[in-house]
Amino acid sequence: MDLEGVTILDLSQLLPGPYATQLLADFGADVIKIEKPSTGDPARTLSFSDGDRSLFETVNRGKRSVAIDLKSREGQEIFYSLVGNADAVLEQFRPGVVDRLGIDYGTLTDHTDNLVYCSLSGYGQTGPYADRAGHDINFVGLAGLLDVTREDEAANPQIPGYQVADMAGGLFAAFSLLGGILSQALGNGGGYIDVSMTDVVASFSQTLTAEALSEGNPRPGKTPLTGALPWYDSYETADGAYVTLGALEPVFWEQFCHEVDRDDLVAVHGTEDPAKREALRAELADLFAQQPRDEWVKRLSNDTTTAPVLTPAEALEHPQIATRVVNRPEAAPPRVGFPACGKSLPESDESIPVHGEHTDEVLHEAGYDENIISQLRENGTVV
């Protein structure tokens, strides 16, 4: 599971693409981040509310930064030389940009015959929306996810708490790149991959689309996993916090009822009667309102399918999360690392690259001598 020896040229910026290559860097790949000489990745200047960290730091650890002007002929030639030693390229421009820059898949295959090339975009490289600008809210809206976030049919859609399309698209781009790299290793060559963030969200929403095709559009707030079932919902506690209850299976529901001394509610599980469901929801709301969240967590056992609703800061400090995916807990704030554990995973590199920090190093590896690099710096081709 170690990608040591694999080189990936990352042309992406902001969140989706950098998240994809971050995952591959955590697996040990050498990710060379190609940035504009003037400004670099815009994420470098996007700070969180406390101003302590930028978005850039969260998805670019362990990468090398090279600043090249890809609009110049010399910059393109440098990129071609890097491609000759690379296994994969990831780009996140709108369709047509890489063609104008001369760094599209077709052009790059003239410089290497075994390249994995992934284009990650909002709507994909084809279709009526291909050239349309967009952000996460547009993609989840088009894919049908945003509609089912409404509490009821009269309510407005609710924006998810994080960028679903961006993160899911990045995850699928990483998965696709791994598949391409495996194909290379098996002697089947590379190839071109077109990943659409909208497509990925639509794929993740298969249970919703299956219901829509068989029974009509799901009713907002009324599908089994979006609020219709009182035994699968969140409830406010005495301190204004929340706990989740996910007792879909009768065995877990029975255990929950037993531990809260409400065995009289066991038989209600699975009822299709709307009135009985709402009566049960009211009973559960009154029940959970009697104690603070943390008291409920202590009281309820592992077999009740319950958990606290935590803030992001609380989640980082929770022992279940802090002991598994939080790297450098002493940092302010702590840094979330690779979300998998295993002896075969390499130790991740926590360093954050400075803009253009590795330009000289990478160009030397590509065969450029110091005099040529100095000239390239003087004419602004590299930084």
**Encoded tokens for 293:** 């969240």
More confident residue, 144 or 139: 139
Tokens 């955590």 locate to 26
**If pLDDT is split at 50, 70 and 90, which confidence band does 336 have?**
confident
Residues 115, 89 contacting (CB under 8 angstroms)? yes
| pTM, two decimal places | 0.91
Q: Is the pLDDT score of 51 beyond 60?
A: no
Residue-level pLDDT at 216: 73
Mean pLDDT of 196-220: 82
**If pLDDT is split at 50, 70 and 90, which confidence band does 311 have?**
very high
**If pLDDT is split at 50, 70 and 90, which confidence band does 337 have?**
confident
Residues 174, 152 contacting (CB under 8 angstroms)? no
More confident residue, 47 or 359: 359
Residue-level pLDDT at 49: 58
Q: What is the mean pLDDT of the chain?
A: 92
The secondary structure of 15-28 as a DSSP string is SHHHHHHHHHHHTT
**If pLDDT is split at 50, 70 and 90, which confidence band does 53 have?**
low
Q: Is the pLDDT score of 326 beyond 90?
A: no
Residue-level pLDDT at 281: 98
**3-state SS, residue 234:** strand
**Percent over 90 (pLDDT), the chain:** 77
Q: Is the pLDDT score of 196 beyond 60?
A: yes
Angle 87-93-98 (CA atoms, 0-180°, nearest 5)? 65
Minimal CA–CA distance to 43: which of 29, 63, 72, 24? 63
Residue-level pLDDT at 324: 85
Residue-level pLDDT at 344: 65
In order of 4, 233, 260, the CA distances from 256 in angstroms are 48, 14, 6
Minimal CA–CA distance to 82: which of 71, 66, 101? 66
- Rounded Cα distance, 346 and 330, in Å: 21
